[in-house]
């Protein structure tokens, strides 16, 4: 909020006074806010540094009275938090997968780097196949690492990225279906979207983990992780469909008509003319959905898979030697910080993209 | 350049032409899709029936009238281990609704406060509100629930060393223990007086509108009287009820505080977690809504000599509600659906009692999960129907 | 998604619909899928190197040895209380060996069959020594932690209800959550099967401050389960268990199992396939018994190694001693 005055050169002190203490009421608010900031900052520093325990090989160091954060718990368990029980000898495979993902993502996210299309194709078509064989193994002489050993941040990233990649095309199809002129297609899409959006993810996960095996013929069994992925993707597709639909509604009729006039068929009209514009419009919504999905991966704890939150919870509870009043809190702090960095990063990036597109639109 | 419309008015002469006719294509595609869905549904249903039959699992809804045999830690409706699975279901549903209701109330107040603070002219206050939103929004709700439950409420002292609260309450690792007022005869009076006060307030609100038309300043006389009614009458009623009620204070027994009103830590954690989380989203909705009101309105309010607060209350907020209400309802639904995370911290909501305990004890996964989903779906659809009616009635179209 | 589903439905045809016999499926797969606890010391828990140990896990190995002659052909599937029956019903696991109490309703209405009793247990209570409690009845008014979806939850309600005592239930889905709640004083007592209490007590930060009350409030016969309606597979599970008990009675050990084919005792020779077709009657090879005992030893050896003096739990044989030593372990003879 700008204050109306436009004085020439004012001292910093005056500017501060202007901003924080213009009136009595405002001054009270400022003092209260400052007090709150000071209190929170002090409490946090006190817990995380002043009273914290930094060394120790088990929880006994943290069981001293009035101890703050128990950092050894995080440093000793860091591999477990990041990779679950993935065998140590095979960890290079996970790290290589991360590196390959970054190799595709980083240039794709930088505005001025060319070759966007091949990069996107690599990420969507080539990389998942490589990642599957790297992480799971069973080919090219790599021993199989069963998904029951996957956990921690690795599992969070796998579920989130597979969920996003799988639900995106499905969401677009559902959005097109909901705006289709064919009554049955429209009806089926609406039914699916509203049905899924009306229930909690927990029940969808229960359904995919408990009921999916019953839906399939007795000869077919699917991996627990795959079941969770199916649940997450089906759930998230309905939400993405609504976001994409918002974009489709915002495209002026003229665009559709122009594509018709060019004699384009339905799929080309949508794929080449309408969808690219619609998706550009709803990038913030898509990123919000991605963030929501990323956060929701922690719910797989309820069906017995341990992502980052789950594994922190598991080790804080199951490991008696680490038991101390602050063990769990320290683990949660670590997990929270990791999630926060990822989610906040995504939202900042999407804001930057939006600004750039706006600037381009303004020409 | 072929225009498909030219073909519309003559019969397709050949199969080939028919194959390119959009109408025919649409029909064929829909039939195929319908067949695919029907086939999928048939496969699922037949496989399920086959699997259930082969595994000799009991099916049907008969289990709902069987005896449950387990206890539940929070029973807002009468329930004991001798009750039926159906009663356990109702207990779970009631617990879900209680959490949702209280959570929504707190989240709304908190969310509006923070949303308005986001636009505060005071730089510090605005940044504080922004930090809250960014901090809370970017962490999983499950993690926040665990923080509240394990890292905060679990570290409270033993019942023997409970923190004494003013007014005879206690806070310990077993929860919050408050004095309980039982309205022996005062309950009826209290409710009747409240209803009267609300009716009076509503009438006065209408009157206030008429007064305002007549050119009285804001707040009008009728409004003042109305506020007086809403505050004073219930106070008197509460006083009467107090006189007619008995108070039971929590007293430390051998293990726990006995008597009074005990609120379980699981419930506290869930309500605090859900409401603080949802408040961050509501704050953003409120901010967007307030910013969505044209600037001219603000300027006009200032020109009329209204203070910033008056302008907010009388001009900006009422107009921003049309933008705020649809996404706000969505957040209310989200909170209700998110209450299902109770299963992770042991609060006996619908999911943990029914999809948890009952499912485990009966083994009838299909029926139990379908019922659970149907309940949430019914809540969602009912809310959506209400919103549609509300939008129509107030002719506030969604933007 | 539909495509995936359709692909899966299609794969049904590819699997060429073998007979519904679990044995054929297991043989074709070349590995036994065995459902175990997610981590309960003495019964089934992964050690530091990820190898599953415990008497339940050993029973999985025994069945794998009976089928394949190799006790390592097991894929252990950790299951929580909620998933366990569904996993067996849906065929995700072929055998459920997860300290599960044999009750009538589980045996009759879930489409499952119990193969026998691997461990006779009873429900007990753990409390803090500082409470100075002598019996369960003194817990009136206490907060009691219990795992949901178990028989323990029902027994607890029954016990207090029949005596007209009040208590505050605190329930969680997973055992570690229950233990953590008890550890952090959310409840005054923690109830589950007594063997589990012994195991869980070792996981507390201060085991010396906790005691297990002597009263048992229920019968908890724990045993392995298979799907109903597959008599052959059911026989394999049941007689593998009986073999372990008979072996202890006859003095057959992991060490001497190899030379028992030439034992002077004709009964023992018959068990090991000399002049008998017991194995074939089960649908197995005639030397199935040798592999089983060589893999896990006899019942007593498996008990001592996992639960008894050879383990941190130090549980007494008690009711689980052989019938000849005053216990309840009595298996029908193999002849």
Q: Which residues, in sequence order, are CB contacts of B327 under 8 Å at separation 6+?
A: B285
Split at pLDDT 50, 70, 90, the class of C16 is very low
Condensed to tens digits (0 to 9), the pLDDT of residues C171-228 reads 998 888 899 899 888 999 999 999 889 888 888 888 899 999 988 999 999 999 999 8
Close Cβ partners of C195 (under 8 Å, ≥ 6 residues apart): C42, C43, C99, C119, C121, C307, C313, C315
Residue numbers in A near B125 (CB within 8 A) = 29-30, 33
Percent of chain A scoring above 70 in pLDDT: 94
Residue B383, in any domain of the structure: yes
Mean pLDDT of C54-70: 95
* pLDDT tens by residue, B246-257: 778 888 888 888
Question: pLDDT tens digits for C290-323?
Answer: 999 999 999 999 999 999 999 888 898 989 999 9
For residue A318, give how far its alpha carbon lies from the nearest alpha carbon of chain C (Å): 6
Q: Show the domain range for A30.
A: 26-53
Check whether residue A205 and residue A245 sit in a common domain. yes
d(Cα A355, Cα B159) in Å, to the nearest integer?
A: 56
Shortest CA gap A231–chain C (Å): 10
Instruction: Check whether residue B142 and residue B89 sit in a common domain.
Output: yes
User: What is the total count of domains within chain C?
Assistant: 2
Q: Domain range spanning residue C186?
A: 122-219
Residue A92 domain flag: no
Same-domain status, B334 and B271: yes
Per-residue pLDDT, B362? 83
Q: What is the pLDDT of residue B183?
A: 61
- Among C219, C239, C254, identify where a domain stops: C219
Region A264-268: mean pLDDT is: 84
| Cβ within 8 Å of residue A127, ≥6 positions away | A100, A101, A104
* CATH code where residue C95 lies: 3.40.190.10
Residues C67 and C201 in one domain: no
Looking at the structure of chain A, the number of domains it has is: 2
Which of A228, A304, A322 is the best mutation test for C, with the most CBs of C within 10 A?
A304
**Chains within contact range of chain B (3+ C-beta pairs < 8 Å):** A, C
User: Is A234–C4 a contact, with Cβ atoms under 8 angstroms apart?
Assistant: no
Report the gap between the CA of B26 and the closest CA in chain A (Å). Answer: 7
Write down which chains contact chain C via at least 3 CB pairs under 8 A.
A, B
Do residues C43 and C183 both lie within one domain?
no
Whether residue A63 lies inside any domain: the answer is no
Give me the mean pLDDT over the B181-201 stretch: 68
Q: Collect all residues from C whose CB is shorter than 8 A from any CB in A.
A: 1, 4-5, 8-9, 11-12, 15, 17-18, 20, 25, 38-39, 46, 50, 75, 77-80, 82-83, 86-87, 89-92, 173, 176-177, 179-180, 183, 202-205
Task: Say yes or no: C318 and C232 in one domain.
Answer: yes
Does residue C211 sit in the same domain as residue C236?
no
Are A49 and A149 part of one and the same domain?
no
Cβ neighbours of residue A103 under 8 Å, at least 6 residues apart?
none
Is the same domain home to B227 and B354? Answer: no
- Spatial contact of B345 and B269, defined as CB atoms under 8 Å apart: yes
Question: pLDDT tier at A30 (50, 70, 90 boundaries)?
Answer: confident
Residue B146 lies in a domain: yes
Q: Do C80 and A304 touch (CB under 8 A)?
A: yes
Instruction: State whether C214 and C193 are in the same domain.
Output: yes
Give domain status of residue A96, yes or no.
no
Q: Give the pairing type, strands B257-258 and B261-263.
A: unpaired
CB contact under 8 A, C109 and B57: yes
Q: Would you say residue C331 lies in a domain?
A: no
Residue A239 pLDDT: 92
The pLDDT-based confidence of B214 (bands split at 50, 70, 90) is low
CA proximity to B363, closest of C37, A360, C89: C89
Which helix or strand (DSSP H or E) is residue B111 part of?
A: helix B85-118
Report yes or no on B45 lying in a domain.
no
Asked if residue B187 and residue B135 are part of one domain, the reply reads: no
- Can you state the angle between helices B317-338 and B365-393, rounded to 10 degrees? 170
Nearest chain A residue to C37 by CA: give it: A304
Is residue B227's pLDDT more than 90? no
Does B31 fall in a domain?
no
Position B97 in a domain: yes
> Given this model, what pLDDT does residue A149 score?
81
Give yes or no: residues C159 and C39 share one domain: no
Structural domain for B228, as ranges: 183-205+219-248
Asked if B236 and B280 sit in the same domain, the reply is: no
Q: A218–C91: do the CB atoms touch at under 8 Å?
A: yes
* pLDDT (tens digit per residue) in B356-375: 888 888 878 888 999 999 99
Q: Could you tell me which chain A residue has the CA closest to the CA of C26?
A: A219
Of B122, B173, B287, B333, which to mutate for an interface test with A (greatest number of A Cβ within 10 Å)? Answer: B122
**Which pLDDT tens digit goes with each residue over B287-325?**
999 888 888 888 898 888 888 888 888 888 888 887 888
Looking at the domain assignment, is residue B139 inside a domain? yes
Between strands C95-101 and C32-37, the pairing is: parallel
Q: List the single residue in C141, C142, C149 with the smallest CB-CB distance to B357.
A: C149
Task: Grade residue A19 by pLDDT with cuts at 50, 70 and 90.
Answer: low
Mutate to test the interface with A, among B143, B285, B363, B382 (most CBs of A within 10 A): B143
A322 and A284 in a common domain: yes
Q: Give per-residue pLDDT as tens, A232-258.
A: 999 999 999 999 998 888 888 888 888
Same domain, A75 and A201: yes
A328: burial class by Cβ within 10 Å (0-12, 13-18, 19+)? buried
Q: B342 and B242, same structural domain?
A: no
> Which residues in chain A have their CB less than 8 angstroms from residue B359's CB?
210
**Residues C31 and C175 occupy one common structural domain:** no
Does C2 map to a domain? no
The verdict on B171 and B188 lying in the same domain is: no
A139 in any annotated domain: no
Same domain as B288, residue B242? no
Residues B306 and B381 in one domain: yes
Least confident stretch, A53-62, A262-271, B175-184, C134-143? B175-184
180-209 of C, contacting B, C-beta below 8 A: 180-181, 184-186, 188
Nearest CA in chain B to A296: B140
Hey, are the CB atoms on B82 and C90 less than 8 Å from each other?
Answer: no
Q: Are residues A192 and A294 in the same domain?
A: yes
Judged by CB atoms closer than 8 Å, whether chains meet at A33 and B37 is answered as no
Among C5-19, C26-40, C65-79, C93-107, which is the least confidently predicted range?
A: C5-19
pLDDT mean over C258-268: 83
Q: What is the pLDDT of residue A2?
A: 44
Same domain, C49 and C114: yes
The answer to whether residues C227 and C116 belong to one domain is: yes
Contacts of A209 in chain C (CB under 8 A): 83
C138 to chain B: closest CA residue: B254
Do B369 and A206 make contact, defined as CB atoms within 8 angstroms? yes
Query: Which of C181, C190, C228 is the best substitution to test chain B (most B C-beta atoms within 10 A)?
Result: C181
Does the residue A226 lie in any domain?
Answer: yes
Residue B390's pLDDT is what?
78
Does residue C232 belong to any structural domain of this protein? yes
Long-range interactions of A342-347: CB distance < 8 A, separation 24+: A342/A294, A343/A291, A343/A294, A343/A295, A343/B137, A343/B138, A343/B139, A344/B134, A344/B138, A346/A287, A346/A290, A346/A291, A346/A294, A347/A287, A347/A288, A347/A291, A347/B138
For residue B302, give every residue at least 6 positions away whose Cβ sits within 8 Å of its Cβ, in sequence order, or none. Answer: B311
CA-based nearest distance B238→chain C, Å:
32
Q: Report the share of chain B in percent with pLDDT over 90.
A: 28
Q: CATH number for the domain including A297?
A: 1.10.3720.10
**Looking at per-residue confidence, does B236 or B70 come out higher?**
B70
**Chain segment A68-92, per-residue pLDDT in tens:** 889 988 888 888 899 888 888 888 8
C228 and C102 in one domain? yes
Which among C20, C176, C199, C312 is the top mutation candidate for probing chain A, defined by the most A β-carbons within 10 Å of its own β-carbon?
A: C176
Reported as a single tens digit per residue, the pLDDT across A318-351 is 777 788 888 889 999 999 999 999 999 999 988 8
Predicted pLDDT at C5: 40
Choose the final residue of a domain: C166, C190, C219.
Answer: C219
Domain count across chain B: 2
Taking only the tens place, the pLDDT of each residue in C120-129 is 999 999 999 9
Provide the pLDDT for residue B11.
56
- With a threshold of 0.85, does the pTM exceed it? no
Residue A207 sits in the same domain as residue A167:
yes
pLDDT at site A323: 80
**CA distances, A57 to each of A75, A212, A291, A338, C207 (Å):** 10, 43, 36, 23, 20
Which of the listed residues C170, C186, C219 is the one where a domain comes to its end? C219
B327: domain CATH number is 1.10.3720.10
Do C73 and C140 lie in one domain? The reply is no
Give a yes or no: residue A309 inside a domain. yes
> pLDDT (tens digit, 9 = 90+) per residue, A115-146?
777 777 787 778 888 888 888 887 777 887 87
Asked if A317's CB is within 8 angstroms of C180's CB, the reply is yes
Confidence band, pLDDT 50/70/90 cuts, at residue B17: low
- Would you say residue C74 lies in a domain? yes
- Residue C332's pLDDT is 94
Whether residue B253 lies inside any domain: the answer is no
DSSP class per residue in A59-109? GGGGGSTT---BHHHHHHHHHHHHHBT--GGGHHHHHHHHHHHHHHHHHHH
Question: Quick one: pLDDT at residue C7?
Answer: 42
Structural domain includes residue A60: no
Whether residue B60 is contained in a domain is answered as: no
Q: Is residue A98 part of a domain?
A: no
Say yes or no for a CB contact (<8 Å) between A318 and C39. Answer: yes
C163–B contact, CB cutoff 8 A: no
Residues A48, A149 within the same domain: no
Please, which pLDDT band fits residue B123 given cuts at 50, 70 and 90?
confident
Please tell me whether residues C190 and C282 are part of one structural domain: no
Residues B148 and B235 in one domain: no
Statement to judge: residues A36 and A185 lie in one domain: no
Q: In this structure, is the dihedral angle defined by the CA atoms of residues B365, B366, B369 and B375, taken in order, positive or negative?
A: negative
Using N-to-C axis directions, what is the helix angle for C55-68 and C288-296, rounded to 10°? Answer: 150
Q: Quick one: B168 and B189 in the same domain? A: no
B127 and B241 in a single domain? The answer is no
C177 with A170: Cβ contact below 8 A: no
Q: Classify residue C25: in a domain, yes or no.
A: yes
């Amino acid at each position: 909020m700008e204050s109306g005055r436009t004085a020439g050169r004012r001292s910093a002190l005056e500017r501060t006074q202007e901003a924080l203490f213009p009136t009595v009421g405002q001054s009270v608010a400022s003092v209260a806010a400052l007090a709150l900031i000071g209190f929170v900052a002090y409490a946090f520093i006190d817990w995380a540094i002043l009273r914290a325990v930094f060394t120790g090989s088990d929880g006994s160091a943290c069981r001293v009275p009035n101890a703050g954060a128990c950092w050894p718990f995080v440093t000793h368990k860091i591999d477990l938090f990041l990779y679950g029980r993935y065998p140590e000898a095979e960890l290079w495979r996970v790290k290589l997968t991360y590196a390959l993902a970054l190799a595709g993502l980083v240039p794709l996210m930088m505005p001025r780097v060319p070759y966007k299309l091949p990069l996107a194709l690599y990420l969507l078509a080539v990389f998942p196949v490589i990642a599957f064989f790297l992480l799971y193994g069973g080919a090219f002489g790599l021993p199989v690492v069963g998904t029951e050993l996957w956990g921690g941040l690795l599992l969070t990233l796998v579920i989130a990225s597979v969920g996003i990649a799988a639900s995106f095309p499905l969401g677009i199809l559902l959005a097109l279906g909901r705006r289709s002129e064919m009554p049955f297609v429209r009806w089926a899409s609406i039914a699916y979207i509203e049905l899924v959006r009306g229930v909690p993810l927990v029940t969808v996960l229960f359904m995919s983990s408990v009921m999916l095996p019953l839906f399939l013929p007795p000869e077919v069994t699917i991996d627990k992780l795959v079941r969770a992925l199916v649940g997450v993707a089906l759930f998230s597709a309905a939400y993405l469909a609504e976001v994409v639909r918002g974009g489709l509604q915002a495209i002026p009729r003229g665009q559709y008509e122009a594509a018709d006039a060019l004699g384009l068929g339905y799929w080309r009209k949508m794929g080449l003319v309408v969808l690219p514009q619609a998706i550009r419009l709803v990038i913030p919504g898509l990123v919000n959905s991605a963030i929501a999905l990323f956060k929701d991966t922690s719910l797989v704890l309820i069906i017995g898979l341990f992502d980052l939150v789950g594994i922190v919870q598991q080790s804080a509870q199951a490991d008696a030697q680490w038991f101390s009043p602050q063990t769990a809190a320290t683990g949660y702090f670590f997990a929270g910080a990791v999630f926060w960095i990822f989610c906040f990063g995504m939202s900042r990036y999407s804001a930057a993209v939006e600004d750039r597109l706006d600037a381009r639109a303004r020409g | 350049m072929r225009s498909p419309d030219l073909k519309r008015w003559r019969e397709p002469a050949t199969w080939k032409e028919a194959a390119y006719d959009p109408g025919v294509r649409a029909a064929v595609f829909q039939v195929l899709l319908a067949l695919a869905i029907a086939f999928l549904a048939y496969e699922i249903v037949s496989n399920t029936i086959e699997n259930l039959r082969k595994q000799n699992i009991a099916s049907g809804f008969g289990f709902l009238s069987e005896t449950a045999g387990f206890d539940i830690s929070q029973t807002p409706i009468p329930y004991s281990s001798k009750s039926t699975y159906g009663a356990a279901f109702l207990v779970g549903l009631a617990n879900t609704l209680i959490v949702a209701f209280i959570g929504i109330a707190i989240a709304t107040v908190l969310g509006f406060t923070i949303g308005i603070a986001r636009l505060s002219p005071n730089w510090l206050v605005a940044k504080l509100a922004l930090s809250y939103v960014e901090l809370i929004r970017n962490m999983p709700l499950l993690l926040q629930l665990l923080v509240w439950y394990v890292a905060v409420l679990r570290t409270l002292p033993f019942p023997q060393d409970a923190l004494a609260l003013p007014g005879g309450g206690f806070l310990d690792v077993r929860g919050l223990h408050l004095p309980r007022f039982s309205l022996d005869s005062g309950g009826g009076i209290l409710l009747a007086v409240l209803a009267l006060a609300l009716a009076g307030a509503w009438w006065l609100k209408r009157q206030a509108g008429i007064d305002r038309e007549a050119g009285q300043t804001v707040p009008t006389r009728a409004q003042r009287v109305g506020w007086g009614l809403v505050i004073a009458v219930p106070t008197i009623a509460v006083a009467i009820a107090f006189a007619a009620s008995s108070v039971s204070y929590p007293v430390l027994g051998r293990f726990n505080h006995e008597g009074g009103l005990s609120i379980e830590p699981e419930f506290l954690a869930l309500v605090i977690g859900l409401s603080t989380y949802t408040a961050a989203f509501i704050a953003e909705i409120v901010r967007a809504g307030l910013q969505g009101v044209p600037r001219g309105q603000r300027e006009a309010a200032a020109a009329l000599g209204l203070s910033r607060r008056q302008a907010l209350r009388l001009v900006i907020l009422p107009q921003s509600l049309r933008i705020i209400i649809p996404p706000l309802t969505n957040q209310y639904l989200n909170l209700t659906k998110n209450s299902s995370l109770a299963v992770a911290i042991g609060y006996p909501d619908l999911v943990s009692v029914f999809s948890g305990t009952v499912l485990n004890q009966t083994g009838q996964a299909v029926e139990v999960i379908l019922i659970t989903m149907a309940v949430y779906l019914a809540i969602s659809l009912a809310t959506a129907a209400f919103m549609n009616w509300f939008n129509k009635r107030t002719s506030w179209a969604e933007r | 998604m539909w495509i995936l589903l359709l692909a899966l439905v299609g794969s049904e045809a590819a699997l060429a619909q073998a007979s519904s016999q679990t044995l054929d499926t297991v043989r074709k797969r070349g590995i036994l899928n065995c459902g175990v606890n997610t981590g309960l010391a003495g019964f089934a828990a992964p050690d530091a190197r990820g190898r599953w140990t415990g008497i339940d896990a050993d029973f999985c190995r025994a069945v794998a040895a009976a089928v394949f002659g190799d006790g390592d052909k097991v894929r252990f599937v950790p299951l929580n209380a909620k998933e366990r029956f569904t996993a067996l019903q849906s065929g995700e696991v072929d055998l459920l060996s997860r300290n599960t109490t044999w009750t009538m309703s589980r045996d009759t209405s879930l489409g499952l069959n119990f193969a026998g009793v691997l461990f006779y247990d009873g429900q007990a209570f753990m409390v803090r020594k500082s409470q100075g409690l002598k019996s369960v009845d003194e817990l009136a008014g206490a907060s009691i932690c219990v795992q949901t979806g178990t028989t323990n939850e029902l027994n607890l309600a029954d016990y207090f209800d029949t005596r007209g005592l009040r208590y505050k239930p605190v329930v969680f889905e997973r055992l570690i959550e229950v233990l953590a709640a008890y550890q952090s004083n959310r409840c005054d007592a923690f109830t589950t099967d007594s063997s589990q209490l012994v195991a869980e007590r070792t996981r507390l930060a201060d085991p010396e401050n906790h005691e297990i009350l002597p009263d048992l409030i229920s019968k908890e016969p724990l045993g392995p389960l298979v799907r109903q309606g597959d008599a052959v597979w059911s026989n394999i599970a049941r007689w593998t268990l009986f073999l372990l008990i008979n072996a202890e009675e006859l003095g057959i050990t992991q060490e001497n199992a190899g030379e028992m084919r030439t034992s002077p005792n004709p009964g023992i020779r018959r068990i090991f396939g000399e002049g008998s077709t017991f194995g074939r009657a089960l649908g197995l090879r005639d030397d199935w018994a040798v592999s089983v005992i060589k893999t896990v030893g006899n019942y007593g050896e498996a008990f001592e190694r996992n639960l008894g003096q050879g383990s941190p739990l130090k549980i007494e044989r008690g009711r689980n001693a052989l019938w000849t030593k005053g216990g309840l372990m009595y298996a029908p003879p193999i002849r």
